[in-house]
Each structure stands twice: as C-alpha cells, then as structure tokens.
Amino acid sequence: MLDAVIIAIGSELLTPSKTDTNSLYLTDQLNTLGVEVRKKVIVGDDRGMLSAEIREALEQVAIVILTGGLGPTEDDVTRDAVAAALERPLIWRQDICDGIEERFRTRGRAMAEINKRQAYIIEGATVLANPTGTAPGLWIESGHNLIVLLPGPPSEMKPTFEREVLPRLQARVPEVVIRTRFYRVTGMTESDLDTLISPAYKDYTNPATTVLASAGDIQVHLRARCETADEAERLLAAVGDPIEKLLGDRIYSNNGDALEDVIGRLLRPRQETVAVAESLTGGQLGQRLTSVAGASDYFLGGLLTYSDRVKTALLGVDPEVLKRYTAVSAEVAEQMAIGARDRTGATYGISTTGEAGPVSATGAPVGTIYLGYATPAATGAIRLVMPGDRNRVRGFTVNAALDLLRRHILRLE
Amino acid sequence: MLDAVIIAIGSELLTPSKTDTNSLYLTDQLNTLGVEVRKKVIVGDDRGMLSAEIREALEQVAIVILTGGLGPTEDDVTRDAVAAALERPLIWRQDICDGIEERFRTRGRAMAEINKRQAYIIEGATVLANPTGTAPGLWIESGHNLIVLLPGPPSEMKPTFEREVLPRLQARVPEVVIRTRFYRVTGMTESDLDTLISPAYKDYTNPATTVLASAGDIQVHLRARCETADEAERLLAAVGDPIEKLLGDRIYSNNGDALEDVIGRLLRPRQETVAVAESLTGGQLGQRLTSVAGASDYFLGGLLTYSDRVKTALLGVDPEVLKRYTAVSAEVAEQMAIGARDRTGATYGISTTGEAGPVSATGAPVGTIYLGYATPAATGAIRLVMPGDRNRVRGFTVNAALDLLRRHILRLE
C-alpha cells in the first residue's frame, strides 16, 4: 500500500491557538484512495528545518504533501525548501506571473511587486491551478517519490486538491475498491446515538465506522475496502442496514449533504418557500439557509428581532403576550413564526427564541429554547433545553430549527 | 533561547477525525516560560519511525516532549523508542509495579499481566508521578538535551505536566520577560498590508512579528523577549510604533478583540443602537453582531431580504428603483439601510447587497458588493469588489460592513 507524510508550514500553526485542519481533510481524501498517512509534521517558516523534514519524509514514504508557505512574502519558504531538498533550481514562469497580474486586474487592482515571487516554480514541476487564489500548487515526481505543494488557506487548498491532485493521484494509486455510506443525523446527542448503534458496528473492522459530532449535528461514516465491489457492498449492508433501521427518520442525509442543502432540495421541486424570525440566533438560521447557492429560489427573507419592541414592530407580536409570557415562551415563538410567514408570504415560517446566556434576561434558565412554526396546516411551538455556552446553544438551536422545518416539509411525526 | 519539539504518538491521531490538542496546551505552557516550539510531529505506533523522529529532534532543539504511547499494550512504543534513540537500556522498577498494582487494588480490580510493561523505565530517568492514571511520565537529561515523556490522555497529561514538569522546567529555563502587541486590521488585503508594514519589522527578529489573515480580517502579532521589561517595551515600541503610524485607523483593535466586540464597546456608552438589512449575507452580519454577550443592549434587529418583493415589503425599497438599478446597486443599498433604521428606530442602519455567486442574478460581476448606511448625519452607499467563492465573498462583506459601521460611529474619513 502507498503511504504519505503531510507537512504543514507556517509559524502561526505553532502558536497555542491554531490547529492544522488541512491534514484532516487530506487524510480523509488519501485514505479513500487507499493511501495511509504515516506522519504529520508542522514546522514554522524555517527554510532549513523544512528542507530537513522533506528529505527525511522522502526516504520514509512514497508521497509527501505540503500545505502552506506559498504566499508572496519572505516568510513563505516552501518553494525554496523543496527546491533545496530536491536539489533542483527555481525557474521563472512569465505565464504564471501574467495569470496573477490578470487576477488582480479583473479585481480592479494592481499586482504588488512581491507577488512576482509566486511565479517561480521548481524545475520539472507540473503547475496545479489554484481556482480561488494567486498561489499555484506544484506536482513533482522525483524517482519513486511524489511531492505535492498546496496553498495553505483551506478555501484554496481544497479546490486545488479536488480539481488538480485527486485525478492525478487516482491514476497513480493501485486499484482498491472502496465503498462508503455516510449518514447525517440530528435530534440526539452523540452518546445516545453511540449507545443505540454501537452494537451494530462494534464487531466489524471492515467497514470502519467513525462517529463525529458538533452542536447537534452527528456524522456516521462507514468505509469498506475490498477487492471487489460486491464484497464491499455486502459488508456495508451488513453494518449499514441495521444502523439505518435504528436511526430511522433521524437520518436527514445519506450523501453527506448538510441540513440546509437537504431543505433546499425539498423546497425547490415543491415550489415552496421559507421565511425566518430569529431572536437568540441573531441571523445564524438565515445565514445557514442562504449558504446554499441558489437559495433565493426558496428563501424569501427573515426578521431579526432582538428586543420586545422590535418583535412587535416587525413581526406583530402582541405586547400583552410578551408581557404575560416573556419573549422566551411558546406563545411568542408561535407569533413570531406567524409574523414571518404573513409578512413575506412564505409557505413556512420558522422562529427561534430563547436564552443563549451567559445571563438570562427573562428568568428562564440559560439553554431554554422555543422554536415556532407556521405552515399551511398548523401553527405552534416546541420547547427544547440545550447544553453548553452561548455559541453552542446558538449552534444547537439553528440545527434544531432546520430539522423542525425539514420535518414539517416531509410531514413527519 | 530554549526551543522545543513536541511529538504526539498514536495511530488514532493519524485518522481524519482526530486532532492533537495536547500540543496546543503544551505550546501555551512552553511559550509562557519563554520556550519556543519549533516543530510538532504526529507519528503512529511505529517504533522505528518514532526513534528516527526523536534522534532528529535531539539534534535540532534543546527540549523534546513526547505525549502518548505509554500504555500497557504492544502498541505502546514510546518507552522503547526513546530508549533506542538514547541507546540506554530499560530497567525494571518494582516500586512502580507495586504502585500500579495498588492503584488497581483500591479500585477493587486485579492488575492485568500486561500492565507490568509500564514498570520499565529508561536508565537514568526521573519518574514523574501520574496522579490520574497508571502510566508514569519520565524526565531524562542527556547531554544538553531534555526529554520528557508524558501520558497521552489530556486528563492525565495536564496534571502530570503541571505538578511534575512545570516546576522542574521553571528551575532550568533562564528568566525571560515577554511583552506583546496585537493589532487587528481590516479594510485591506494581506499582501497590501505586508507591503506597507514589512519595512518596519523585517530587520527585527526580536520582537518576532507574525501576520495572519482570514476573509478581510488581519492580525499582526509582535512578541518581544528580553531580560528586562524595560528592554522588551523599548523593542516593542521600536517596531510597533511605526506600524501603528502606518496603519492608522485601519487598526480596529489592539487587544485581540474582534470587530463585533469593538462595535459593542463603542455603541454601549454612547447609548446608540444598530439595525441591519441583509441581502447576500443572509443573516451573517446579524449573527456576528449578536455573537457578543449582551448585544441586546445595542442590536435592535435586522431584516433579511433576499427577493426584490421582500425588499419592498419589509424595507420599503422603491420598486421603480429596483427595476431601474437592480438589487445590486448603490441606490438599493442606501434605501435598505434607511429602511432598517426607520423600521427599528436604530441610530445606525447598515445594509449589504451584492452578488455572492456562483452565478450573477442581476448581471453585476460576482464579487460586486454595495454596503449602505443610514446615520443621524447622512445616508449613502459604498461599492466594493470582493475575491473568492460564495463563502469568502460573504465573509469579506460582513467584515467590511462591520468596519463601515465602526467608521461611522467614530466619524472617521
């Protein structure tokens, strides 16, 4: 089996607050191809140390992937360090310089002189186009080794990897059949989910099962590696089918799509629309719904109503109801959802209100949440209690609100 | 100055879902002592590879800290690998074995035979008691090197470090004074910023200067390490004062606070308030403003208006203006800001409209953004062109809108 070392470059990655997340993405991609990651290294902007790491890695594994340090400043040492380790010169490429200059021009700006550094490549390297930034990646074959240089920002690294590296790697890596299942689940805690499904997977190492959770959104990955597709599918079914049965409609996606993508795909063919009214989430629910390209087909709008007065002014919430039940109540959540639906003409109105903390404004305990809904069939509200700090409470609430919308569209429960 | 390499051991740390968090804690502790971390490595349970890493690190730095791989199973290779790298034998310690056995006994369980492996130590090592687990740590001095072995679980690593390692390190490390400055800047690109300020810092290694950027938000860190506080402050001023002068009011924070925190601290004492009208950002501007605890003191609300019809219904944007200039125009941005201000009674109304992509709905190029403002003094709009994909355009836009608000509150420009 082929193996790899991933090296992340950047002094900022050696500070107490930064972690290298690129290597997680790359490990996932490499494992899917059947390539094992044997070491991960983080070094600062230190040419000599980086060169030493590259030389060592080239002796240990077949593939060395480097991220970061391709920018235009003196701190960006990756090109130089790889050139030194491979004992190859750097070569000026006018076409790359022209491309960078053009990129600046289309944005109405002049290219700074230092950006020219990004137009040097290592002799013999194939240039990997960076669709979202100025620093191109490089693909270098040297003896039995492959060295890949990728930009550091994840928003540049991922598209460069997917478009330029993945197809080339696939052509190089020996055939293994890999089949996966990928469930996304909401509406339960990670430990409840694991207690429920672990009997179904714990005796199997193939497929490998991984459970990942963040703020009310849980991902279950199954990955089978076999010599034949039939065998892989058989093993996946042996573990995956019982898991699907146990989780039922708590699975909102089985292709990796996020909840907001699933909702878009439900609303669009139905020609239905949604509007939101947000208190404690302050815009995060709208932001999630509109993070999907083309969301304007079904997202009409939203009202962020942080104060009682604005809840009345923008959503028509009855001041008497606010006074009697406080803003953190089922009654107000319901009126907010009705207000959002009425004022925009949307098919569905969804609202959030609650106490995100750190202190309670209404007397309700921090973490108390009400989600309101207004649909062609009914109006109402549900109450939930969320764990964690302000950020987590808001994150949980948004996932719960999106799931409530999904359940109403699908007429579940 | 003393420097260190941190090596984390464990094959589970090389999977796509696991990240090494011990090294963040250790980096923070070491930096506080004035010890610089020059490299972080993660290796699997691979004796040969680990020995090679240790040998290399011993040549590069003074201090090598290892976490993990001290358990009782065959997979736990750290003791063996360090012994091999230092060419020292492992020695049986009956007292450690008795301690582990005692630990099991007090929990009403018998010690498994394999736990005896944990009673071997490297010749010449000092045993570091592990208050919360069975695997003791080890402290080894070898020539000018110090090697520290710590258990992998954070709940064992941290107390072992604090009780056993920290006091010993403090006694070894020369007294150093550390002083820092931390600027946050918006309204320019990283390369423009670096072109502007690098002449001010590039000839200094002390203070060390780091520049970090994400979607329109740039951080500049300066860290000076000296024998006296006076000397550290003098060096910081020598580099920091010219940088402050060059960046001027583009610096929005010099204590690490985010833009939304700065805005909260500006609005609260002025008893002023803000409301937002968002199109392409879909709630993200509201979300950022309300991520600050206590934002209800000054954030009144917002209107998410994704369609032309809803811009008119919720914000009173003139349908004729929408038709004539399209939704991506200075005229509509201004009317949106006025609408947000009027409908909520806020001091400031801020709006976002533009083309986030991937396709343009109005014909304006993707990345074209208008930010509207309505203040007690004036109304208007500014035009910006943002790089990157949908996500980045939205992120840049939110930072630019927050900065526009900051500038109006402070009456800058």
Contacts of A281 in chain B (CB under 8 A): 287, 290
Q: Residues B276, B351: contact at Cβ < 8 Å?
A: yes
pLDDT of residue B302: 97
Calculate helix-pair angle for A330-344, A308-315, nearest 10 degrees.
40
Q: How far apart are CA A399 and CA A383, in angstroms?
A: 14
CA distances from B389 to A138, A204, A292, B385, B395 (A): 22, 40, 12, 12, 10
Of residues A39, A295, A313, nearest to B42 (C-beta):
A39
* Best CA proximity match to A131, nearest among A104, A159, A108: A159
Average pLDDT for chain B: 92
Residue A22: name the closest of A82, A66, A80 by CA.
A66
Which of B221, B253, B285 lies at the terminal end of a domain, its last residue? B253
Same domain for B163 and B189, yes or no, is no
Instruction: Provide the whole-model pTM.
Output: 0.77
Domain with residue A84: its CATH number is 3.40.980.10
pLDDT at site A33: 87
- Name the β-bridge partners of A369: A354, A384
Which of A46, A306, A311 to substitute to test the interface with B, most B CBs within 10 Å? A306
Apex A330 CA angle, A328 and A333, nearest 5: 75
Is B78 within 8 Å of B44 (Cβ atoms)? Answer: no
- Model ipTM over 0.85: no
Interchain pair A301, B300: CB under 8 A: no
Contact criterion met (CB < 8 Å) for A307 and B296: yes
Residues of B293-329 as b/e, b for ≥16 C-beta within 10 angstroms?
A: eebbebbbbbbbbbbbbbbbbbbebeeebbeebbbbb
Q: What is the pLDDT of residue B77?
A: 92
Percent pLDDT > 70 in chain B is 100
Residue B173 clears pLDDT 90, i.e. is over it: no
What percent of chain A is modeled with pLDDT above 90?
Answer: 71
Instruction: Report the C-alpha gap between B47 and A339 in whole angstroms.
Output: 65
CA distance A37 to B183: 37
Boundary of a domain, candidates B153, B172, B191: B172
Taking residues A187-208, what's their average pLDDT?
A: 86
Per residue in B362-385, pLDDT tens? 899 999 999 999 999 999 999 999
Cβ proximity of B398 and B284 under 8 Å:
yes
Residues B213, B265 share a domain: no
CB contact under 8 A, A19 and B17: no
Largest CA distance in chain B: 89
Chain B residues touching residue A40 (CB < 8 angstroms): 13-14, 41-42
Closest partner CB to A41 (pick from B41, B281, B304): B41
Cβ(A291)–Cβ(A265) below 8 Å? no
Question: With an 8 Å Cβ cutoff, are B282 and A299 in contact?
Answer: yes
In whole angstroms, what is the distance from residue A138 CA to residue A165 CA?
9
* Chain A residues whose beta carbon lies within 8 Å of the beta carbon of residue B161: none
A108/B40 Cβ within 8 A: no
Provide the pairing of β-strand B145-150 with B63-67: parallel
Closest CA–CA distance from residue B17 to any residue of chain A (Å): 7
Amino acid letter at B63? I
Backbone angles phi, psi at A107, to 5 degrees: -95, 10
Q: Is residue B175 over pLDDT 80?
A: no
* CA distances (Å), origin A289, targets A278, A295, B101, B353: 13, 7, 57, 17
Residue of A32, A37, A4 lying closest to A232 (CA atoms): A32
Looking at the fold, whether B167 and B35 belong to one and the same domain comes out as yes
| Closest residue in B to A282 (Cα–Cα) | B287
Secondary structure (DSSP) of A123-174: TTPEEE--TTSS--EEEEEETTEEEEEE-SSHHHHHHHIIIIIHHHHHHHSP
Q: How far is B182 from chain A (nearest CA, A)?
A: 14
Residue B42 pLDDT: 97
CATH code of the domain in which B332 resides: 3.90.950.20
Burial A163-172 (b: 16+ CB within 10 A, else e): ebbeeebeee
- Are A314 and B345 a contacting pair, CB within 8 Å? no
Residues A212, A328 share a domain: no
pLDDT at residue A71 in the model: 85
Please compute the mean of the pLDDT values over residues A181-195 and round it to a whole number: 87
pLDDT digits (tens, 9 = 90+) for A204-243: 888 988 787 777 889 898 988 888 889 999 999 999 999 9
Of A27, A56, A358, the CB nearest to B16: A27
pLDDT in tens, B148-169: 999 998 889 999 999 999 999 9
Check which CATH number belongs to the domain holding B187 and give it: 3.30.70.2860
Q: For residue A194, what is the enclosing H or E element?
A: helix A190-201
Q: Which of A290, A304, A390 to mutate to test the interface with B (most CBs of B within 10 A)?
A: A304
| B54 and B154 housed in the same domain | yes
Which value, in Å, is the radius of gyration of the alpha carbons in chain A?
A: 26
Check B285 against A283: CB less than 8 A apart: yes
How many CB atoms are located within 10 Å of the residue B350 CB? 28
* Chain B residues within 8 A of A114 when measuring between CB atoms: 191, 194-195
Mean pLDDT over each residue of chain A, to the nearest integer: 92
Asked if A287's CB is within 8 angstroms of B296's CB, the reply is no
pLDDT digits (tens, 9 = 90+) for A383-396: 999 877 888 899 99
Q: Are B47 and B12 in contact (CB under 8 A)?
A: no
Q: Provide the shortest C-alpha distance from residue B98 to chain A (in Å).
A: 34
Does the distance separating the beta carbons of B56 and A56 come in below 8 Å?
A: yes
What are the distances in angstroms from CA A236 to CA A346, A363, B50?
41, 49, 35
For B19, the closest of A19, A28, A74 (CB atoms) is A19
* pLDDT at site A203: 86
Assess whether the previous peptide bond of A72 is cis (omega < 30° from 0).
Answer: no
Contact flag A73-B39 (C-beta cutoff 8 Å): no
Which domain does B114 fall in, by range?
A: 3-172
- Of B253, B275, B303, the position where a domain reaches its end is B253
Question: Could you report the per-residue pLDDT of A76-94, keeping only the tens digit for each?
Answer: 899 999 999 999 999 999 9
Please give the span between the terminal C-alpha atoms of chain A, in angstroms, as a whole number. Answer: 48
Of B304, B385, B389, the CB nearest to A108: B385
Report CB contact under 8 Å: A303, B306.
Answer: no
Q: What pLDDT digit, counting tens, does each position of A334-360 carry?
A: 999 999 999 999 999 999 999 998 888
Amino acid at B231: E
Dist CA B230 CA B236 (whole Å): 10
What is the nearest CA distance from A90 to chain B, expressed in angstroms? 22
pLDDT band at A117 (very low <50, low <70, confident <90, very high): confident
Q: Say how many CB pairs under 8 Å bridge A and B.
A: 243
User: What whole-number percentage of chain A has pLDDT above 70?
Assistant: 100
DSSP secondary-structure letter at B272? -
Domain check: are B184 and B88 in the same one?
no
> How many structural domains are present in chain A?
3
**Beta carbons of B48 and B14 less than 8 angstroms apart:** no
User: Same structural domain for residues A186 and A144?
Assistant: no
In our burial notation (b when 16+ CB lie closer than 10 A, e otherwise), range B117-147 reads: bbbbbbeebeebebeebbbbbbbbebeebbb
Task: For CA atoms A68, A73, A79, A80, give the dihedral sign.
Answer: negative
Confidence band of A1 (pLDDT split at 50, 70, 90): low
User: Does residue B148 sit in the same domain as residue B285?
Assistant: no
CA distance A110 to A104: 6
| C-beta separation of B286 from B350 below 8 A | no
Across the range B129-146, mean pLDDT stands at 92
Q: Do B389 and A41 touch (CB under 8 A)?
A: no
pLDDT digits (tens, 9 = 90+) for A25-68: 999 999 888 898 999 999 999 999 999 999 999 999 999 999 99
Chain A residue nearest residue B308, CA to CA: A300
Region B216-229: mean pLDDT is 89
pLDDT of residue A8: 97
| B42 neighbourhood in chain A, CB within 8 Å | 39-41
Measure B237 CA to nearest chain A CA, in Å. Answer: 22
Residues in chain B within 8 Å Cβ distance of A25: 16
Tokens of A304: 């962020």
Both A219 and A318 in a single domain?
A: no
Of A14, A31, A313, the CB nearest to B344: A313
CB A152 within 8 A of CB A202: no
Continuous segment of H or E residues that includes residue B353? strand B348-354
Q: What angle do CA B283, B289, B295 make, to 5 degrees?
A: 125
| Binary contact (A210, B343; C-beta < 8 A) | no
B400 and B319 in a common domain: yes
Cα B152 from chain centroid (whole Å): 23
In A, minimum Cα distance to B315 occurs at: A314
pLDDT tens digits for B53-91?
999 999 999 999 999 999 887 778 999 999 999 999 999
CB A372 within 8 A of CB A347: no
Same domain, A391 and A313: yes
Peptide bond into B154 cis (omega under 30): no
Select the more confidently predicted residue: B335 or B190.
B335
Cβ contact B17–A212 (<8 Å): yes
pLDDT digits (tens, 9 = 90+) for B260-284: 999 999 999 999 999 999 999 999 9
Could you tell me if A382 and A330 lie in one domain?
yes
Q: How distant is the Cα of B211 from the closest Cα of chain A, in angstroms?
A: 8
Q: List pLDDT tens digits, range B302-356.
A: 999 999 999 999 999 999 999 999 999 999 999 999 999 999 999 999 999 999 9
Facing B49 at nearest CB: one of A16, A39, A107? A39
